[in-house]
Amino acid sequence: MCRPMNVRGAWIALGLASLLAADVVFIVINLISVDADGQRNIPSLLYVGAEWSVPEIIQYAKFALLAGILGFGFYLSRQPVYAVWAAAFAAMSVDDALDVHVSIGRILRRVLLPSERVYGLWELVPMALAVAVVLGALWYVHRRPGVSSSARRYTRRVLPLGILYGVFAVGVDAMHSLYNVLIAGDGLGDTLFQLLEDSGELVTATLILAYTVWHFHLRGDRQSDTRPRTAAS
């Protein structure tokens, strides 16, 4: 009776490993295509980080899938921790697809400091606010009674990966913006900074998705979340 689950788990693990391998292939193709002027000599459809390129569409799908898995986990378990994470990843999927933080950064630049050179820095403001909201929501739901051990475990495992994602999305992005302000505009350094940021986000999102699938399916923590509690508990 266990064999079908093991086979299905093996296929899921193979799919996730293939997704990670695809990330690495896209990153390597982009790196080796960069010339001395910082131009990528490949079709824009293969650009890591370019809007609606193949790698970026896969990235949108990762966050949408994460939101769906966690939303379903919340539906089954009624653990608000999963609802917060589902909302966070849904927002990341929408932001990745529509560049919401870029639009807000453009508005802030026009209103507060209309300078093209510091344009990228304004994009960090909505991103920092969004991170603060998510961390505040997680802190609040974890303080509430009735949070299961597996829901707490999920946050303990995913939060460091989320912080790593933030290092690339916010930290490297800030360094990239400062580089453009202080040293140069377009060029090799500009392209390499962009690749570092987008490649880190690509791989980290896959690692988060892999752990989430493992948490709910391969590890079987969904059952511990939904197991009825006794009167003593």
3 band by pLDDT with thresholds 50, 70 and 90: very low
Q: What is the mean pLDDT of the chain?
A: 83
The reported pLDDT for the residue numbered 115 is 56
231 is a domain residue:
no
Q: Measured between alpha carbons, how far is 107 from 192 in angstroms, rounded to an integer? A: 27
Q: Return the pLDDT at 58.
A: 93
**Helices and strands, number each (H, E), in the chain:** 9, 0
Give dist(CA 138, CA 117) in Å, integer: 35
- How far apart, in whole angstroms, are the C-alpha atoms of residue 61 and residue 180? 31
Q: What's the burial of 203, exposed, middle or buried (CB within 10 Å: 0-12/13-18/19+)?
A: middle
Burial 145-160 (b: 16+ CB within 10 A, else e): eebbebbeebbeebee
Instruction: Indicate the length of the chain as a whole number.
Output: 233
Residue 233 lies in a domain: no
- 232 in a domain, yes or no? no
Residue 149 domain-assigned (yes or no): yes
Say whether pTM exceeds 0.85: no
Cα(19)–Cα(36) distance, integer angstroms: 30
Q: Could you tell me if residue 229 is inside a domain?
A: no
| Domain ranges, residue 165 | 3-224
Give, in order, the Cα–Cα distances in Å from 191 to each of 10, 33, 57, 98: 38, 11, 20, 22
In a domain, 90, yes or no: yes
Strand partners, 40: 34
Over residues 33-61, the pLDDT tens digits come to 999 888 899 999 999 988 889 999 999 99
Half-sphere exposure of 51 (CA within 13 A, CB side): 8
Say how many domains are in the chain. 1
Predicted confidence (pLDDT) per residue in 160-205, tens digit: 999 999 889 888 887 887 787 777 666 888 899 999 999 999 999 9
Q: Please give the pLDDT value at position 56.
A: 92
* In a domain? residue 27: yes
The residues with which 34 forms a beta bridge, in sequence order, are: 40
Angle at 180 between CA 52 and CA 170, to 5 degrees: 60
